[in-house]
Amino acid sequence: MKNEVKGKTVSDTTKKTATAKKATEGVAAAVKSAEKAAAKVADKTEKVVAKVVEKTEEAAAKPAAKAAAKKAPAKKAAVKETVYLQYLGKEIDKDELVKQVKDIWTNELKNNAADLKDVTLYLKPEENAAYYVVNGDVTGKIEL
């Protein structure tokens, strides 16, 4: 005699249980896939929002910069300055050193030229080097 539960065999119940288990696993996989997709969408949304905020801040800064430029008094004609350091048969030009620092700032450090506000040079001919500080916090060395 077969085992029966309310007119069903144990074999039928086992098959239905296995089918239900597979369906549950499929749903779990679909949920996991949906969670990954949602995480990607959230990440992309976060990046887009960051770009929008950045563009908005840039747009807001432009009128303020223009207003400040208009209010600045007209400058008098600047005196042309040329500085050379001559040491042990070498001649070092201040303007060339500043140009090298600007090149390092934009090309090697991948910063915008507009972000360069302040350059300070320290010439050390005994070390055959010039040390620089950009914007008060970025430092480096140039061989003379």
Could you read off the pLDDT of 45-56 as tens digits, one per residue?
777 777 777 777
Any domain includes 79? no
Tally of structural domains, the chain: 2
Q: Answer yes or no: is 35 within a domain.
A: yes
Q: Is residue 78 part of a domain?
A: no
* pLDDT given at position 82: 84
List pLDDT tens digits, range 20-67. 777 777 777 777 777 777 677 767 777 777 777 777 777 777 766 666
Q: Please tell me whether residues 8 and 38 are part of one structural domain.
A: yes
A 10 A CB-CB count for 134 gives 20
Q: How far from 51 is each of 39, 80, 120, CA to CA, in Å?
A: 18, 42, 32
pLDDT value at 144 more than 80:
yes
Predicted confidence at residue 64, as pLDDT, reads: 62
Does residue 97 share a domain with residue 44? Answer: no
Provide the domain limits for residue 60: 4-71
